[in-house]
Amino acid sequence: MDSVLELRAIRKSFAGFAALDGADFTLRRGEVHALLGENGAGKSSLMNVAAGLYAPDGGRILIGGREQRLGGPREATAQGIGMVHQHFHLVKPFTVAENILLANPRGRFSRGIETIEREIAFCTNMLGFVVDPHRRLDSLSVAEQQRVEIVKVLLGGATIIILDEPTAVLTDEEADGLLTTMRRLAAQGTAVVLVTHKLREVTRYADRVTIMRGGRHVAACDPKTMSTAQLTELTVGVALPSPVREKTARGELRLIVAGLRVEHETGRTALDGVGFQVRAGEIYGIAGVSGNGQSELVGALTGTTAVAAGDIWMSGAGHIADRPPAIRRSGGLAAIPADRYAQALAGGLSITDNYAVAGVMAGRYGPWGWLDRKAMAKAAAAAVRAFDVQGVRGLKQRAGLLSGGNAQKLVLARELAGDPVLIVAHGPSRGLDARACAAVHERLLAARARGNAVVLVSDDLDEVIGLADRIGVMSRGRIVAEFDAPADRQAIGRAMVDHG
């Protein structure tokens, strides 16, 4: 047998809930193997078992045909298993090179930081990425951090590479670059696991696909023999309709951004005179290759990034460019940030607290000290039902334990509650399965139909084109072109790179 990794009948429970219920998985040498399944199906849990992060309650792990007990991630690394996690394991105040050194403390890196910088350059060249080894992690976008994780695993010398939703934060082009590299590594004998929700990637790049549901294996097959409709049905259990964008009347101005400048501490200009307007009942989409100022724009709008010059005016709240986030929120701003764990959820707090916090700040549950906890729990329970947040064993459960997609649904439920003046959404369907993704799109269109103004920043061009009434293309901190719906995909794609 040429199987390099075999997981047999793996079981793993969390507080009595079986996340893995006898899951099987076989990985062969030299293949790209996709792992599909709905949010909460157990994909990350199973791969965390393979990477030595979770100790299974039952089942067997065979590496290269020999049974192994992995005492921890270091033991998995020693067996050649490297994993790029869905939620990154990087140290924020350190530079790229320092992070990579930390992960590979011994061996060939003992020669010092210059060697690592050379290795990083070599590796990113091969991947077709640009990663500056001197940048601090906290100055990088989510997509850029993702690249650092991939470089870290590759330089660690892994022969089994597990990528947990690596392309969720990449553009089509970046994703193609990464997956082409993985195919090349596979041709040289590396085994690659690709956890993804994107069927296009499965049919294009995978030699085999395993589908999971409810903590178990439901099928393994050659994706080239399946249609995407068949794969969706196996994953979700039903066929899905696509959302429709109906004609709505545009209302009054809700947001005016003019001459916006943002500068990094290093003096680099991140936003260079950005201006656009959004009306009630309108979705304004921002397209572009990630890292061109999108994160800074979202930060400037929501109040987490300092503005050097320019104006942001929001209906009902006035000029807010130098106002703190709380003032903006009480003026009717709702935010769905890209990094939901770092910016939108307090992982250590309960689901109820995470949901109700917005209402608490608005005084909806009474004054501090006299909070109506029953009403908070009731509202949270209703939201969990309405947004189909799965994996909730109780409302007191910590929000950090939700699977990636379900955590995002909780954020959406909170931010879309009420009647926001303006919704700023950054990559709102990142990491969501097909069903949840369709639900998010439906929610954003419903907000638009209700007369909310929406700024939708997304690396997923199809998402922007499908939802937005107008699209601004960002490149190097500027909006370089604007398109009205129905927009031409190719023209947008050209604008994204022409100026890049």
Ligand X SMILES: Nc1ncnc2c1ncn2[C@@H]1O[C@H](COP(=O)(O)OP(=O)(O)OP(=O)(O)O)[C@@H](O)[C@H]1O
Based on the shown chain and the rule CB under 5 A, indicate whether residue 44 belongs to the binding site for Mg ion.
yes
Based on the shown chain and the rule CB under 6 A, indicate whether residue 401 belongs to the binding site for ligand X.
yes
What DSSP assignment string belongs to 26-70?
EEETT-EEEEEE-TTSSHHHHHHHHTTSS--SEEEEEETTEE---
Burial 214-237 (b: 16+ CB within 10 A, else e): ebbbeeeeebeebeeeebbebbbe
471: number of Cβ within 10 Å = 26
Shortest Å distance, C-beta 443 to ligand X:
17
Based on the shown chain and the rule CB under 5 A, indicate whether residue 404 belongs to the binding site for Mg ion.
yes
The one segment of 40-48, 237-245, 258-266, 461-469 that binds ligand X by CB under 6 A: 40-48
Residue from 32, 41, 51, 280 that binds ligand X (CB under 6 A)? 41
Spell out, one character per residue from 148 to 187, where the chain touches ligand X: x when CB under 6 A holds, - when not: ----------------------------------------
Q: How many residues bind ligand X (CB under 6 A)?
A: 19
Residue 410 to residues 10, 335, 364, 407, 428: CA-CA distances in angstroms?
29, 13, 19, 5, 12
Based on the shown chain and the rule CB under 6 A, indicate whether residue 23 belongs to the binding site for ligand X.
no
CB-nearer residue toward ligand X: 36 or 127 = 36
Q: CA nearest 17: which of 164, 213, 211, 215? A: 215
Residue from 288, 391, 420, 451 that binds ligand X (CB under 6 A)? 391
* Residue 44 near residue 23 (C-beta atoms within 8 A): no
Shortest Å distance, C-beta 406 to Mg ion:
10
The one segment of 24-32, 267-275, 396-404, 458-466 that binds ligand X by CB under 6 A: 396-404
Ranges within 72-111 binding Mg ion (CB under 5 A): 86
Q: CA nearest 437: which of 194, 206, 165? A: 165
For Mg ion, the nearest residue by Cβ is 44
- Which residue spans within 170-314 are E strands per DSSP? 191-195, 208-213, 216-221, 253-263, 269-279, 283-287, 309-314
* Residue 312 near residue 260 (C-beta atoms within 8 A): yes
Q: H-helix or E-strand containing 17? A: strand 17-28
Based on the shown chain and the rule CB under 6 A, indicate whether residue 57 belongs to the binding site for ligand X.
no
The one segment of 37-45, 137-145, 418-426, 449-457 that binds ligand X by CB under 6 A: 37-45
Based on the shown chain and the rule CB under 6 A, indicate whether residue 340 belongs to the binding site for ligand X.
no
The one segment of 42-50, 148-156, 261-269, 285-293 that binds ligand X by CB under 6 A: 42-50
Q: What radius of gyration, in Å, describes the C-alpha atoms of the chain?
A: 23
The one segment of 144-152, 203-211, 398-406, 459-467 that binds ligand X by CB under 6 A: 398-406
In a 3-state reduction of DSSP, which class is residue 455? strand
391 binds, among ligand X, Mg ion, none (CB under 5 to 8 A by kind): ligand X
191-195 and 32-37 beta bridge pairing: parallel
Residue from 42, 166, 243, 303 that binds ligand X (CB under 6 A)? 42
Q: H-helix or E-strand containing 136? A: none
Burial 175-197 (b: 16+ CB within 10 A, else e): bbebbebbbebbeeebbbbbbbb
37 binds, among Mg ion, ligand X, none (CB under 5 to 8 A by kind): ligand X
Based on the shown chain and the rule CB under 6 A, indicate whether residue 44 belongs to the binding site for ligand X.
yes
User: Can you give the binding site for ligand X, defined by CB under 6 A?
Assistant: 14, 19, 37, 39-45, 86, 391, 401-406, 433
User: Can you give the binding site for Mg ion, defined by CB under 5 A?
Assistant: 44, 86, 404
